[in-house]
Chain A
Amino acid sequence: MRNQLNEELDELRHDILAMGSLVEEALRKALHALKTGDAALAKDVRRGDAEIDALRLGIDDRAAMLIATQQPVAGNLRELVTVFKLTDNLERIGDHAAHLAKTARRLADDPYPLPLDRLERMAAAGVAMVHDAVEAYLRRDEALAREAAAKDDEIDAEHKAFLREVLAYLAGRPDKAEQATKLIATSSFLERLGDHVTNLCEAVVFMLTGAHAELND
């Protein structure tokens, strides 16, 4: 019974996995661009973002069609509602990766004299969170979703510490205000990326339990 719905849900899950993988890849490349200042990578990430956006629209259209034609209920309906939240947040994370890559290239023109470890750690945590959030969705693993969301605290802590460092640096080098602004913007992208992954995790918990969870304040 309802084979068509189940088959199409399977295809949607597959495409969300694909979308999640592309987003992870974009973040990894952006992280690499940050380390190396590779301008070609930044372009690559932007091209990849168009692919992510296209995938998202395709998934959303098919999810809407399933709701219209199959009248899903209960777990199936909650999953389809969740799909919209997943694609929305994954798409935003992809945008953040593109911004990050662009900023990485600009930073390369005028290298920052302090190490960028914190930004790299934030980006790495973001990659791991996206991976776990998508995995939690596919495996229907509430504990993993909660675990992934908890990593947002690490990103937030790094963000706050990084802001303090940049401001301290800026106090001694007021001529570097433009560079400092870029660094703060980059750190803020990564901080918001963590929020979007938290949204992914909350959506997964909602799908599994029907309850709206607040996984981070």
Chain B
Amino acid sequence: MMSEAETAFSIRGLDLWYGKSQALKSVTADLPARSVTALIGPSGCGKSTFLRTLNRMNDLVGGVRIEGSVLYDGVDVLSPSTDVIDLRKRVGMVFQKPNPFPMSLYDNVAYGPRVHGVRDKARLDDIVEGSLVRAALFDEVKDRLHESALGLSGGQQQRLCIARVLAVEPEVVLMDEPTSALDPISTAKIEALLDELKRDYTIVIVTHNMQQAGRVSDRTAFFLLGELVEYAATKELFFNPADERTENYISGRFG
């Protein structure tokens, strides 16, 4: 197990190109384990690209070239010999729009464990219930686990997607604007959930909502034009940023 102050991701000199355009420029950062790191910056600044690099989701995009290094718990994430399936099991992802599979709640959550070979019914029951509890959804849906997930509200669907990620027992949860499609009540539930989850999981979250970054994260990274401009304790970054570009962005003077 990683200790409290231990580094989950160690990123050094990360460059990334989509074709000829450079999306990340020599990004260097250590992301601490079991805490929430927020990635902020205007559209196209590279924050989502950076997030997707952490579990190799950029592999799915054509014409990508990456240099530099990303270490996760000692594993060289970018190495061609790294088992991507195993990596993505350890480093799960929640997307902007809730994307439940068109099947029952139960089967959504059991999907990952089944793919990873869990067949025992009692064991699956435990995983499904435990994951829904940890995603703060179980009480709301326990009587309709076998109904379609598509009947849930947007906020419930997103928590279902979080439960689906938790079901494969990841160590890290990456979140790409997980509340941007949700109403304020659902957003508040997800934010409260993040506070619970960070006790056991490392969370990295991309958000366009600056107040959200301020509320939920321990550290914040501000990206601009592919550059990591400032990366600091959230309270420091929002109260007394070191870089004028950070100040201008979080004060709403551009972006």
Residues of A within 8 A of B (CB): 1-2, 5, 71-78, 209-210
A209 to B246, CA, bound (A): 15
Tell me whether B241 and A2 are in contact (CB under 8 A). no
Main secondary structure of the interface of B (DSSP, over half): helix
B228 smallest CB distance to A (angstroms): 18
Known: A1-B254, A2-B251. A74 touches B240 (CB 8 A): yes
Tell me whether A73 and B214 are in contact (CB under 8 A). yes
Tell me whether B239 and A2 are in contact (CB under 8 A). no
Which residues does chain B contribute within 8 Å of A78, judged by CB atoms?
Answer: 239-240
Selected A-B contacts with CB under 8 Å, 28 pairs: A1-B253, A2-B251, A2-B252, A2-B253, A5-B252, A71-B210, A71-B211, A72-B251, A73-B210, A73-B214, A73-B238, A73-B239, A73-B250, A73-B251, A74-B238, A74-B239, A74-B240, A74-B241, A74-B250, A75-B251, A76-B251, A77-B238, A77-B239, A78-B239, A78-B240, A209-B240, A210-B239, A210-B240
A210 smallest CB distance to B (angstroms): 3
Which residues does chain A contribute within 8 Å of B211, judged by CB atoms?
Answer: 71
A165 smallest CB distance to B (angstroms): 46
Q: Name the residue on A nearest B238 (C-beta).
A: A73
A-B pairs, 5 with minimum CB distance: A210-B240, A2-B252, A74-B247, A73-B238, A73-B250
Which residues does chain A contribute within 8 Å of B252, judged by CB atoms?
Answer: 1-2, 5
Q: Name the residue on A nearest B246 (C-beta).
A: A74
A83 smallest CB distance to B (angstroms): 16
